[in-house]
Every structure is written in structure tokens, then in C-alpha cells.
Chains A and B, each alone.
Chain A
Amino acid sequence: MGDTLNINNKAQQQNTFDAIVIGSGISGGWAAKELTEKGLKVLMLERGRNFEHLKDYKSASKDIWEFPHHGRVTQEELKRHPVIARTWGTYEPIIDYWANDVEAPYVEIKPFKWWRAYQFGGRSILWGRQSYRWSDFDFEGNAKDGWAIDWPIRYKDIEPWYDYVEEFIGVSGSIENIPQLPDGHFTPPMDLTCVEKDVSARIKEKFGRHMIIGRSANTTIPKEGRTNCQFRNRCWEGCPFGGYFSTQSSTFPAAMKSGNLTMRPWSIVTKILYDKDTKKATGVEVLDADNNQTYQYFSKIVFVNASALNSAWVLMNSATDIWPEGLGSSSGELGHNIMDHHYNVGASGTVEGYEDKYYYGRRPNGFYIVRFANLFGDKRDFLRGFGYQGSGSRENWSRSVAELSIGGAYKDALTEPGQWTIGMTGFGELLPYHENKIYLDKNKKDKWGLPVLAMDAELKDNELKMRKAIREEAVAMLEASGVKNINSWDNGHEIGDGIHEMGSARMGNDPKTSVLNKWNQVWDAQNVFVTDGAFMVSSACQNPSLTYMAMTARAANHAVEELKKGNI
């Protein structure tokens, strides 16, 4: 065990904090903010480089023509990103925001797209910002269907924490009074386009379904230290205005203001140090990704926020002398029940009659069609449901022009906006299956000689049936709204591609069937909290980050209370 290393007392003292947070992304940033603001001395560990707000957004004030390839990635760049090369994430200004897939490989037992960002702020820089609350239809889903295990919490447990995080991060959205998608504390909503408004009205009239403006963590009013969204729609390059929520723009400045935060980049946590006598973690071991030295840091509590799959990886590598499969594996569920949201299935078409309408600005958001399947009497041949995200806009120069192919008239025609189109993709719930799993492949090593994850997860019958419905319902709604030239598709879905991987260390009421208790504490080491997507018991169909934030703030509050009481 690492904690038997001979470290002198002074060094140990210097390396001792009240809390350690593993990871600096969406949930790690929230853990650091909450714990430091409550007075704890916190060490935040990031496995990649530092990445500073404003200073490191190198492309943010450049125009597209200032990039040698106008946004297209070069082959040299793609060599470092063979996984991202299979996705829509290849864009010249941000290609290096993605992890180097070659240095940190993984094994695909079944096809798996793992979108990783190994730098300070993690994927909070690159995320899609869609922010939706869950409802009790979601928290009660497993129990009602008799699927997997019950969630140990209900909406009332998380509701005040949704309020709390929304207020801080700034979520723009509209008040709708929809039971399955509770309203939040929103900043003013963005507009729907003319076409979206009318399609929304027709869908409401003909189906009783809700097509609303997306709820997006782009604040439409200024927040402390942040300007409101400027509608450039270049969020993922890093926003020089702080217009959207990221660790850099929001939680990190708050944590720094407390004076209690130490941030250490290049810190790959190789294990959590565990003391079998006290049955608690004592700290972590870190491999410095830059100089390959090993360091130990000590703390009263550890928050694990390395992203769902890497958090499971850290647990799998910890306390293996007690549990060969790692800390939290006593239930047999660590690394199992891997979920995601499946998409790449939808429909689009053209809309006539709005030639005298247009829009101003670039909206970093679209519309959202709220789940309707298997709710309020709707009954399907599959469990759970799906939502849709999409947008309606006018075509640009990349369209074809009738009767013209070359020359001045052709060029001038292309300088005007084309016809209106509208399109959407479903986002479907994926059930937790024990056999959808990840595990350590000890034969394959990464650049630092560490074992890598093997991914063995796939869509099953329930999801495939759902995808048929997603496609058919998309066509039906567009048809009923008068949309023409409808084209529908199902391009298949590899797990991970939703960038919502989750479930690897689920919470529950029973230590025999879950890794974490209802406060996100590892049953087998109650001063270890896992509050990223790993804790999820089911996936619902809403984008999950807001729920991770709320659950992290809730767990941090609980951790500090328990510390005060001397319980951990």
C-alpha cells in the first residue's frame, strides 16, 4: 500500500488538506466551490494541463478565415485523436481540447466512443449546456417498472439543490408547468424562430405535446464576474464573455475567492489510499503526468469527480488488497450498468411560407420536445421515453440553387438565405443492464504504464424498439406541422457517443446491490463521495449535467455536516 511509504511528518503536513477533489470538470468544480466556501482547505487534482479562463481561449477572438483550414482539422491533429475522428467533434480551433486518444487508449470490446477532455475544466468547456431537471417520473421509473434497483432519492430531495445550482450558473429557459419536466429558476428564455414557434403550436394542437425553447446554461443576464451570452455560438472554444457555465467561468473563481483552494494540474490519481482499520480513505496517490513522479496527498474526505468511467477506474485501482476488484466493488456492481443517451435518429424537412422572415444573432441553443412516451396513458412496446432536440433555420450557401450552377447570378443567389428547414434528433433513455460494463484490461497500458479500461456495452431490444418510435414520431410531428420533403434517419448509436456515459458506481438503498449510499458515499469507505455521472441509477432522457451539479452540491453539504458531527 502506498500509505506505508516513508514520508516524513513535515512533508505529510504540507500534503494534507481537509478535502481532495479528483477532477475539475462540471461536478469537480462544484465540489471544490462548495467545500471551499464552507471553509475546508481543498486540493483539486486535474490529470491534464492547466487551462486558464480567457488567457487560454486562443481562438475565441479569431475569425474563421484566420484559421489556415477554415475549421477543418489537419491529418497531423487527427492522428492524436482517432476516437474524436469518428465523431462530429473535429473542429480546428478546439481539436486539442480533446484528450490524446493515443496516449490514453482504451479497449472496445463493443464499439464505444469515449469523448474525453483531459485538461483543467474537463468537458465543462466543451459541453452542450442543455440543462433539464428530472421529475419523479424519472426517479420512480426503476421501481415502477421493476427494473434494476430503486433510486434512493426522490425529486423533493434534489429540488432545493436544483434551485441552488441554477441560480448560480444561470440557465435560460421558459416556465412551462410541465409535470415531467419541472420548471427551474431561469434567466429569460431565448426566442424560438418563426418556424419553430408555428411548428410548436401545431404539435401542441395536434398531439398535446410540448416543443419549447431549450433550457441552456447560457446566462441571459449578467452573473458575478460574467457577461450575459453574446450570441456568437462559439461556446466550445471557451467564452471570452463567460457567457456560459464552465468551471473556468463559474465555480473556479468562486472557489478561489474563498482562499481555500489549491489546484494541481498533471495529477493522475492512481488510487485512493484506504485504511482498513478505520474503514476510511486517508488520501490519494498521484502520478505526475508531466514528470512521472509519484506523490501522496492526505485528507479527511475525498470527492471523486473524474468523469463516470474514470471515477470507476480510480475505484477499481484502490484498496485492491482488501477487494481485488477495487474499492466499492463489494456489491459486484462497480463498473456495471453503464448507460448513455442514444441519439443519431430523427427527421428533417423543409418549410414553405416564411420567406419574409429571418433571425438575428447566433443562438447557442435549439428547441426541445419534452418526453411524451409512456406518460399519461401513452403506452409503448418499450419502457421509458425520449425527448428531441433540434432547430429550424434558413439554408445557407451550401444549398443548391435551381437552374444555376456557375457564375455571377449563381453567386449572388447564394448570398441570400435559402428556404427554411427544420430537423431534430431524439435523445433516448437507455436502461441500466448489469452486463453493460467496463473493466480494467491489465494487458494494455497507457503512456504512463497504467492499465486501461475495456468497454463492453451496447443498445439492447428496448432501445432499438424505442429508436423506431423516435424516428416514426419525428416524421409524424413534422408531417402534421406541414413540413415538406421529410427525410428521416437512424444512423445507429455506439455507447458513449451521447457523451452522457454514466452508471458505473450507482447509488442505492442496499450495500449489496449498490456502490454508493443515498448521499453519494461509497458504502465501503464513507468519507469517499462519488458525484459525477457514476452515481446514476437510471438515465432518464434529459441531459444529465444539471443533476450532477445538484447532487454534488447536496453531497458536499452532507459531507461537511458529517465532518462537523464527527461521523466521517
Chain B
Amino acid sequence: MLLLLLGIIVLHVAVLVLLFVSTIVSSWLVGNGYSADLWQNCSTTTTGTWHCLTSSNNEWLQSVQAMMILSIIFSVLSLFLFFCQLFTLTKGGRFYITGFFQVLAAACVMAGASIFTVRHSEWQTAVNDPSYGFAYILAWVAFPLAAVSGIIYIILRKRE
């Protein structure tokens, strides 16, 4: 039981780390001497220095940002609720609320990454042939992990 508990917590923390990294790190789109994330576009200038500019105010980009932030909020809330329920839940009860918020986080990160996939050409007009960076891939990895951990929470029964 203790091992299972530890595994679940490790999985949850891993999801959180993935979400944070993919939200913050500046490589959703990478090109030659160019990288962009949700917050800024960076490129090498003529003088060879690394120069970053704030991203555009495109509505879709802002909704991607919102989805990523929401998924982080829900996942943190879920971890918090898990510890609450761990101590208050009666024996045999299920972690419904924890699981619900974790599944919500998974849905949010999926929505954000999907919107980015479909709409990124609207605000990334400067770069010629962009390829997806690792932060984008991490966001897609975080989605199934969060969903699995959420489902585990819902299935799990509390034992002594």
C-alpha cells in the first residue's frame, strides 16, 4: 500500500514538473537560430546576440497560455486535495475530488496543446519552417500521464 501511495505521488509530481517545464521553457517552436514559446520569441540578431521579444497578443495564443496555467493550477489543487483526503477520507472511500481535478488538468493541457497545434501559424509568421520543440512534446506527454493519474485516483480506494 505504501509503495502504491509513493508511486502515485511520484507520478503526480512528475506531471506537475512536466507541466511547469513545458509552460516556462522557451522551445515550443524551434527553427534555425530561432525559438519561441508561449511568452516570447527569441532569435539571433545580425550582431549575433540572443534577442527576445514578447509574443503577440493573439487570442488563440492567450487561450493556450490560459489552458497551461489552468492545468498547473488544477494539478497543484489536486495534489493538495489528495493530501487532505488522505487524512480525512473514511476507509474504503474513493479520491473522487482529487481525481476529478487531475482529469480536469489533463483536459486543459490537451486543449492547450491542441489549440497550439492548429493555430500556431497565426502568430508565428516570421519563421520559415518551424519544427516543434521539446516543451511542446512534454506538454503532450503530460496529458496522458495526468489522465492516467486522475483515473487511478478515481479507481483507488483508501485502505488503512
Say if A and B assemble together.
no
